[in-house]
Structure 1
Amino acid sequence: MSRLRQALIVAPALILAACSLASGQAANPGTGDDWPSPKGGADAAHFSALTDINPGNVARLGLAWSYDLGTNRVQEATPVVVDGVMYTGGNLGRAYALDAATGRELWTFTPEIDMQANRAACCDQANRGVAVAQGKVFVGTLDGWLYALDAKNGKVLWKVQTFTDTTRGYTITGAPEVAGNLVLIGNGGAEYDTRGYVTAYDLATGKQAWRFFTVPRDPKLGPQESPALDKAVATWSKDSRWDIGGGGTVWDAINYDARFDTVIIGVGNGGPYNIERRSPGGGDNLYLGSLVALDRKTGRVKWAYQETPGDAWDFTSTQPMVLTDMTIDGRSRPVILHAPKNGFLFVIDRETGKPLAINALVRTSWAKGYDLASGRPNKTANGANYWKGPRIVFPASPGARNWYPAAYDAGRGLYFASVLDMGNLMFPTPPLDPKDPHRKKALNIQTALLFTSDLEHSLATLPPPLQDAVKALPEWQWVKDKPFSSQVRAIDPMTGKAKWAVDTAGWQDRPGVLATRTGLVFHGSIDGHFYARDAGTGKVLASLDTGRSIMAAPMTYRVGGVQYVAVATGFGGGGWGFVPRYSAAYTYGNENQLLVFRLDGKPVTKPDPLPAPQVVAAPPAQAPGVTPATLARGQAVFFGNCAICHSNQIRSGVPDLRRMPPEIHEAFDQIVLEGAFVPAGMPRWDDLISKDDAHAIHAWLIDEQAKERKRELELQAQGKPLDAPSLTILSSY
């Protein structure tokens, strides 16, 4: 292509951007040839100013190179490129360094992991990437270590254990954040028995600089660690379940704002979910569901804004944020664009923490908007208080938004993001052990969840009186009208209105997004496609069928005068055990790869399809003395401990326990109680599950295997596929 023709193709997009600037909207700085953090530039906007790939030529996109990550679990990291070298993270806390032009491996890092950490990994072995600064690559591991690696060779320069208590259900799944001479990391585990915090370490030595706790400690233990917690403790009940921890983990969304030398964190949900059990009598429960601005040097609070006071629904505020400038009421203001799980999009003054605009993105039954003057939600009277009776709560615990990064094009004034409009039925569950309601390093949600994506089907598993009560709820009509919708949208941040929206296949199909100055929006899909869309209309300009499920956000960079677009592939994350039939992971498996594209690249070769499933083998006979009560106990303990991973689906990410071969049945106690499979990632449970309970689980699984075999034989006789969906209920304790 001649330079003149190329210029004529690129020019319209650049003119559009210039016109947007003239209208008063500030432009993104973009990222230049490098992509220096998983979020892109300092504004965390997942936006690139590169223009070589544009709407006029993106249809020529093809594969430049690919790299096998050597794993088959979730991939959520966006790579970093600095000076021609690509650095990226992988599940458990792996790290890779590659030649960004060719994919040639420079070094890899595989940490030694305490695989018992899997027991507290509610959402798979996720890792959202690395940070790179001062010749070091920083990565956090699932079991709590923060590593500083030499960027040249991957050797460990220092490491530090970041967990305050390794006997509790902490994990690390987020990427570190560099802030001046500090590197910061948080942790996950609010569904377990944790008390949230974020910690800052010296870049050079790994020495702790400061730590900020997001939840007060039991006042009986003495003074709080900071004046901010003295303020917070007044918003919690004096009878709060301090022994469980309170939640509030900072598992993502840590941003450094250099303009104000401030670290802004998003704080997670409460634990247990049920506020009447967590903080009897209620209260706002600061700093759950909040954005908190901390002084970089000291960790002291500058301001805090609670997006979800009194969270009881897993409405975390840990979703990615964008730092930008916007003209509001004729005045340019530094703002945060933030869409947490709770269903609203916030525009917040990042100097003061005051909300400037709050708009709903989806149906919300817990609140009818916000009072902008006070910044508080107008909570509904009975729409979400499931502790008083079953409620259908919108949005669902997977969130209207979640970890999937959004992109922001300031020139066009559009926020591109995956949005889920779905609810869940919620009701309290009794403690598995009433004598010891704090379950050590285990789920402490104490709430059952059934998603509205298939609620009518799932209701058949519940007692008839409960079915009738649910169908009498006002939100039941919402479920009948639209069980869910999952979309990629182009949103006006000040109104929440979509300029365009395109449907994606299922509630799990929520990809991260990349935007470019030329007017392109890139994203993947769980069904294996990689898309380039027109930023103004959403029209597909390029589609590559990769045969690999894509959830991570893409990025783009330039090396040697060539622009590349890269994305990691691999299904997993929240609900990761439920592999949907439409997904590429279901059809082709989940071998993880890094795919890198360029103009005039090669076609993508898809993996071979997996073989068709076979009828499950007959289970062994039940042990003497198994009764209906045994089976009921086994089901309860299974859902309280095992179902979050073992969802029992033919092509789940981990073994379907209805399909155990004879040798696994024989070794059941050794696996569950003695840790025979700990090296493979299966934790031991003898501290929490008794022999009697293990035998009850096994008895229930034998019963389930017999039922599944009967079902599959009937499907086979009817000529139907064996993987026709079976009834699944998600219940958490």
Structure 2
Amino acid sequence: MAPVVLGLAGCGLLGGKGTEQQAKAGDNWTNPGGDAGKTRNSTLEDITPANVSRLGVAWMAELHTNRGLEGTPVVADGVLYASGVAGRVYAYDAATGKELWTFEPNVDMQVNRTVCCDQVNRGVAMADGKIFVSALDAVMYALDAKTGKIVWQVDTKEVKDRGINSTGAPEVAGDVVVIGNGGAEYDVRGYVSAYDIRTGALKWRFHTVPRDPKLGAQDHPDLEAAVKTWDPNSRWDISGGGTPWDALNYDPETGLLLVGTGNGGPYPRSIRSPKGGDNLYLSSIVALDPKTGRVKWHYQETPGDEWDFPATAPMILTHMQVDGQDRGVVLHAPKNGFLYVLDRKTGQLLRANALVRMNWANGVDMKTGRPNLTPQFSDLGTGPKIIFPGTPGARNWFPPSYDPKTGLYIASILDMGNLIFITPEPKDYRRKALNTGSALIFTNALAETMPTLPPPVAAAVKALPHYKDAIANPAKAEIRAIDPLTGKTVWAVPTAGWQDRGGVMTTASGLTFHGSLNGQLLVRDSRNGTLLKTIETGTPIIAAPMTYKVKGVQYVAVMAAWGGGGFPYVPRYSAAYNRENAGRLLVFRLDGKAALPPPPARPALEIAPPPPPQAPGVTQATIGMGRGLFYSNCAICHSNQHRSITPDLRRMSAPTHQIFNEIVMKGLYLPKGMPRWDDLFSQAQADAIHAFLIDEQARTRADEQAKVKAGVAIDAPRAAIMSNF
């Protein structure tokens, strides 16, 4: 689809190379993190605790999607740019909401097969008169900021036969624009690529994981040391993971590009690197020279990662008084449960404080910087484990904020674990498919799913030392204000449930803004967390808000739509459960009067339709095979929950059943985002999945008929099992 061009005002901040890097966020908000340090803290003070009660809607834009929106808009010279599903870009007059242009990339939707968490995009970069965005299929575009027309485009995929995708925001670092990739759970070797901002020419590429040493010298000089931390007989066929899908920070103060790298793949080190090792550069912060791509320092947060603990959560660069000295620091709280304070110039560890329950480690050795691993949890090869924190992470992609006035790190925090165990099937390489080698069950679903586990696994789980705690205290989610040097909580407010996590923004006037899964924009006093203002939006908000000023008026903007983390279903506890997931860009100002119509109500849920009869020859063994294939490949998108933003396959119509094979094996619905699977499934396997879904639909229909007869709501929740992911 060609861009729609409607004109644009001048863009002074876009004129020079890298000029989007402002020391502080004021009238303009020039990258998704707001300022050069990505503190998501604004110097604006017009909206205050005293007048925030007057905050209302200035304007809104319907984005015509029911998929997740995670990006934070940017603003320069009165123009707001926002990224949407799969890498769409929108430009608006930031004061009036007049659409100036839109851009929709021509995305190869087969990529959906290797995107773990919805078709999200986390933002754009801008410099040199251009807007940079990376589309879901890892094609990066440089768009003319005035017109939205393509200046250049480049396919950032190093190889075409792997599950490479892109959901993060590009980062401008001097003369280059840098982007990472996703797909660690699939068959991807992580890397970051740097392109000339003027021409799109590749300047350098750094892999986060070495290649098979049997191929000879490494393809980057700094991987020669890394390969020594891997078993020479590692699963190089699967590629190792380490994908840096977010957390790119250019530091103009040191001239370094800081990259947060992804988890290992497969998860169990006993499969991935059987003889052990730290497996550099998995789950690390790596400081690169943006001119050459050479490593200047690295800090590995989770050596030998086995628990899906990437270091891809957003970083914050700031200055703090540490032990009596002014230090330029990195604040980073990844999935693994620690909040780290590192020296920005050298990578020296200054602090590491635990934020949540954790049992994979019991602290960090401040002399070596290494976590103190707990032996009974450090090897998944010895049996099932209940790990705290779980793979959703103590922190994840949800952006935090650092307020220099209060010295507080304010962020969504999740205290939850999961059961993880190696699945019994052979661990053959599966092209463009999940290769985690493990099954996961979150602790909030553990009690309900224990009866479904094989008896030997269930018995082993019940004997685990953390089983009782996991059942009694499965999860707690909060917005929390933390002293980064001590890890102590200054204030905390609970959120509705484990999926109710989102980004945060603070202002110099003492306000903290964040959204909720209940469809609200919430404003708090940054000093104590007191709720000062609630605006009902009707649509869940998980993206981080931002703020800017045009012609003397301060505005607050946020993207609203559920997806990404917790994808693909809005949980039943959300107040937005019975409304459509209407993707919107919402903008507020003092005394804003624009109407904000509620999203349409979802139609009443009806009893599942009758399924067709099973095909001749279908047995319980066929259905069992289909169940395993479904949970190993399909359930990550088709959770078969009520109110999902993807189809509930227990409710297929008769015509859909008739074309099931064309959808799954021939790509009939590829334009709708449903990939084809004929390269991975045999026809017998596709038929087995269909047999399982027919059986599920019959069970669902009978269950719902019984509920109606008993006067019980048919959408009562049911347990969710995440298998092989």
State TM-score, norm by structure 1: 0.95
For structure 1, which segment, 245-254 or 609-618, has the greater mean C-alpha deviation from structure 2 after superposition?
609-618
2:562 is aligned, of 546, 563, 571, to 571
Residue in 2 that maps onto 1:676: 668
2:245 is aligned, of 251, 259, 268, to 251
2:230 is aligned, of 222, 233, 236, to 236
1:101-180 superposed matches below 5 A: 101-180=95-174
2:349 counterpart of 1:358? no
2:524 counterpart of 1:547? no
1:593-612 superposed matches below 5 A: 593-602=584-593, 604-612=596-604
Please tell me whether the aligned partners of residues 418 and 440 of structure 2 are also in contact (alpha carbons under 8 angstroms): yes
In 1, Cα distance between equivalents of 2:341 and 2:391: 22
Residue in 1 that maps onto 2:444: 453
Give 1:429's aligned amino acid: T
In 2, Cα distance between equivalents of 1:57 and 1:716: 50
Residue in 1 that maps onto 2:680: 688
Residue in 1 that maps onto 2:479: 488
1:437 is aligned, of 420, 428, 439, to 428
Deviation sequence 1:517-566 (CA, Å, 0-9, x none): 11100000011011000001101000011110100000000001110000
Please tell me whether the aligned partners of residues 116 and 683 of structure 1 are also in contact (alpha carbons under 8 angstroms): yes
In 2, Cα distance between equivalents of 1:248 and 1:585: 35
Deviation sequence 1:495-529 (CA, Å, 0-9, x none): 11110011101111111000001110000001101
Please tell me whether the aligned partners of residues 569 and 642 of structure 2 are also in contact (alpha carbons under 8 angstroms): no
2:42 counterpart of 1:43? no
Question: By how many angstroms is 1:579 displaced?
Answer: 2.3
Deviation sequence 1:573-596 (CA, Å, 0-9, x none): 133023201235522111100010
In 1, Cα distance between equivalents of 2:105 and 2:215: 36
Residue in 2 that maps onto 1:645: 637
Q: CA RMSD in A?
A: 1.1
Question: By how many angstroms is 1:308 displaced?
Answer: 0.2
Question: By how many angstroms is 1:474 displaced?
Answer: 1.0
Aligned length: 703
In 1, Cα distance between equivalents of 2:457 and 2:212: 37
Residue in 1 that maps onto 2:654: 662
Deviation sequence 1:335-385 (CA, Å, 0-9, x none): 000001000000000111011000000011100000011000000010253
Deviation sequence 1:464-486 (CA, Å, 0-9, x none): 33223212211113213311001
Deviation sequence 1:147-184 (CA, Å, 0-9, x none): 00000010000000001012100100000001111100
1:584-623 superposed matches below 5 A: 584-602=575-593, 604-623=596-615
1:275 is aligned, of 254, 269, 280, to 269
Give 1:207's aligned amino acid: A
Please tell me whether the aligned partners of residues 575 and 644 of structure 1 are also in contact (alpha carbons under 8 angstroms): no
2:407 counterpart of 1:413? yes
Please tell me whether the aligned partners of residues 270 and 379 of structure 2 are also in contact (alpha carbons under 8 angstroms): no
Residue in 2 that maps onto 1:11: none
Residue in 1 that maps onto 2:689: 697
Residue in 1 that maps onto 2:625: 633
In 1, Cα distance between equivalents of 2:547 and 2:338: 29
In 2, Cα distance between equivalents of 1:587 and 1:384: 42
1:343 is aligned, of 326, 337, 346, to 337
In 2, Cα distance between equivalents of 1:337 and 1:424: 26
SS in 1 for 2:376: coil
Question: By how many angstroms is 1:29 displaced?
Answer: 5.4
Residue in 1 that maps onto 2:17: none
Please tell me whether the aligned partners of residues 250 and 267 of structure 1 are also in contact (alpha carbons under 8 angstroms): yes
In 1, Cα distance between equivalents of 2:357 and 2:143: 45
SS in 1 for 2:222: helix
Question: By how many angstroms is 1:328 displaced?
Answer: 1.0
Please tell me whether the aligned partners of residues 406 and 418 of structure 1 are also in contact (alpha carbons under 8 angstroms): yes
Please tell me whether the aligned partners of residues 269 and 379 of structure 2 are also in contact (alpha carbons under 8 angstroms): no
In 1, Cα distance between equivalents of 2:579 and 2:724: 30
Give 1:305's aligned amino acid: Y
In 2, Cα distance between equivalents of 1:607 and 1:284: 49
Give 2:79's aligned amino acid: V
In 1, Cα distance between equivalents of 2:672 and 2:23: 45
SS in 2 for 1:638: helix
1:382-531 superposed matches below 5 A: 382-431=376-425, 434=426, 437-531=428-522
Give 2:675's aligned amino acid: P
In 2, Cα distance between equivalents of 1:88 and 1:165: 29
- Percent identity, aligned pairs only? 58
For structure 1, which segment, 570-579 or 488-497, has the greater mean C-alpha deviation from structure 2 after superposition?
570-579
Question: By how many angstroms is 1:604 displaced?
Answer: 3.4
1:285-304 superposed matches below 5 A: 285-304=279-298
Please tell me whether the aligned partners of residues 117 and 563 of structure 2 are also in contact (alpha carbons under 8 angstroms): yes
Question: By how many angstroms is 1:144 displaced?
Answer: 1.1
Question: By how many angstroms is 1:196 displaced?
Answer: 0.4
1:707-722 superposed matches below 5 A: 707-722=699-714
In 2, Cα distance between equivalents of 1:584 and 1:655: 21
